[in-house]
Every structure is written in C-alpha cells, then in structure tokens.
Amino acid sequence: MTRIAVLQLPAAMVGFGRPFLAAIPAGLFLLLRRVPFPPREHLFGLLRVAAFGLVGYPLFSALGVRQAPASHGAIVIGLTPIFTALFAALFSHERPSLKFWVAVVVGSSAVTLFALHESGWALRASDGYLALTAIMCGIGYAEGARLSTHLGGMVALSWALVLALPFTATAVVLTARHGIFQASGASWAALAYTGFASMFLSMWSWYHGLSKGGIARVGQLQLFQVFLSLVWAHLFLAESVSASALVAASVVVTAVAVGSQARIAPAPLPAGALRRAS
C-alpha cells in the first residue's frame, strides 16, 4: 500500500501522513475513554516511540519503496526482527539464548545477501532507507511493547501518536505539493489504509502481542511479512517474484521456526504492570 501511495504522492508526505491520519482515531479513543495524561516517567519512552516507530519508520519506508519494488523492500525490511531483539535486550532486559541469536543472524544474512544480489552486488540508496526502516521499527517495537506492559497497548500507541501530532501535521503541510489532488483515488485510498489500518489497528495489536508473548520471540513473526508482502506485491502491483526472493524468504522463515523454539529469558514484570489490550 505504501508503494501504491508513493507512485503519485510525495514520499515524505506519505511518510508523515501515516501517523497524522492514525492520530485521528487515537485522539478520539483517548478523549472518549477520558484517559489521563501518562505519568512523567513514561513520557521519554512515548516520545521515543513517536520519533522512531511512528515518524522515522514510515518516512524511511516510503522513501525506500519509492525507489525499489515493494517485493525488494519486503525482503530488506526482514532485518527488523534482529533489531527488535537487540533493543528488547537493551530496553526490557530480555535474554535470548545463543540458538536464538544464531537463527536471527542466519535469517538476517539471507536478507542482506538477497539485497546485494538484486542490486548487482552494489548498495543503493533505497537499501539504506530500508535498512534505516528496520532499525526504526526495532526501536519502536521494543519500546512500544515495553510501555504496553505499563499502560496497555492502545493507550501507549494513542499517546505516542498524539504527542507526535504537532510535528506530523506540520510536516504533512510542508511536504505537500501542488497537484497532489490530481493523484488517483487508489493512491489516496492506499495512504488512508497505511494510516488507519497499518499504523493504528495493526500497531496496537502488534504492541499488545509483543508485550504478552515476549518482544524478541514474537518479533520474529515479523519475518512472515516477507512472504505476505511478496504475495500482495504480485497481486496488486503485478511485480514478478524472482527465484532468489523465494529462496531468501524460505531461509528467513526457516530461521523464524528455529528461533521460535529457542530459550529466551523473559524480562521481569514491572510492578503494577497492566497486561491488557487497552
């Protein structure tokens, strides 16, 4: 959907537009539920989620897939789980076993080799943007999941989106260009989907799942996005799926299966933590 949107809309506008649109249902949720302002000790974490997971991630993703096919972007973003696990160890003190790290490194190596193979063994700007996307995702997911154990998934996500709103609203206005309203309905619909579905509903359920099942372990499921994105890119964009893409995706999914069986010492549950969806 991001690829469809950036074909006719500015990539920066799409990147900032996703969290801007998602802030609308987030603000309504907080208002209707009369959710109090988060405690001071969680503000820095919420700002970190906003900066990396809700602004940096969609922006670099949009810049990356504007220059590369969506199928290529899906494989490169397959690096996300290794960064999610790394930041989960840093922020939430999870301790995955050696078997887990070996599986993650194998899957990530397959992603890297695929990206280099597809680009003729030369790095492209799009690969840099997509790698930054994976790093931003890892930080946002790890911190968002940690905050979800304290505030609840929907509350943590909603406050992060609302805190980012002054910046995202300004950025949307500044990055919009003349002629954007000549873009097709499909481009606008794709942008709306990335905001309301991908950035709000999906992110809420993802944060909640990470906080309930362990950030590093559940984060490995992100690699299944590789296969799903290849399918959708073929169906919606008529992109061809190369044999190397299928091989890389297969290695990645195998690594997920192995890593999911590895031992991971869970993070200690914070006192008074609320493990709930809202």
The string of DSSP letters for 17-39 reads HHHHHHHHHHHHHHHHHTPPPPP
Q: What are the Cα distances from residue 247, in Å, to 131, 172, 244, 254, 260?
A: 20, 39, 5, 11, 20
Report the DSSP pairing between strands 95-96 and 264-265: antiparallel
Would you give the DSSP letter of residue 200?
I
CA-wise closest residue to 217 among 258, 248, 254, 249: 258
**Confidence at residue 119, expressed as pLDDT on a 0 to 100 scale:** 64
> Looking at residue 270, what is its pLDDT?
53
Phi first, then psi: what are they for 135, rounded to 5°? -65, -45
pLDDT for the residue 269 = 52
Pairwise CA distance, residues 20 & 171, whole Å:
9
Tell me which H or E stretch contains 264.
Answer: strand 264-265
**Angle at 277 (CA atoms; ends 276, 278), nearest 5 degrees:** 95
Beta partners for 264? 96
Distant-in-sequence, close-in-space partners of 2: CB < 8 Å, separation ≥ 6: 14, 58, 61, 62, 65, 70, 190, 194
pLDDT (0 to 100) of residue 274: 43
pLDDT means per 10 residues, the chain with 278 residues, are: 90 93 96 93 93 90 79 71 81 79 82 73 76 88 88 93 95 87 92 94 87 78 73 82 81 78 63 46
- 264, 100 Cβ separation under 8 angstroms: yes
Are 246 and 71 in contact by the 8 Å Cβ rule? The answer is: no
Provide the pLDDT for residue 207: 85
Rounded Cα gap, residues 159 and 144, in angstroms: 11
Mean pLDDT of all residues belonging to the chain: 83
Contact 95, 264 (CB under 8 A): yes
Q: pTM of the predicted model, to two decimals?
A: 0.79
Dihedral sign computed on CA atoms, order 230, 235, 237, 238: positive
Spans of all domains in the chain: 2-265
pLDDT at position 276: 45
Q: What pLDDT, on the 0 to 100 scale, is given for residue 241?
A: 78
User: Could you give the 3-state DSSP secondary structure of residue 96?
Assistant: strand
Q: Which long-range contacts (CB under 8 A, 24 or more apart) does 225-229 make?
A: 225/74, 225/77, 225/78, 226/74, 226/75, 226/77, 226/78, 226/252, 226/253, 227/253, 229/70, 229/71, 229/73, 229/74
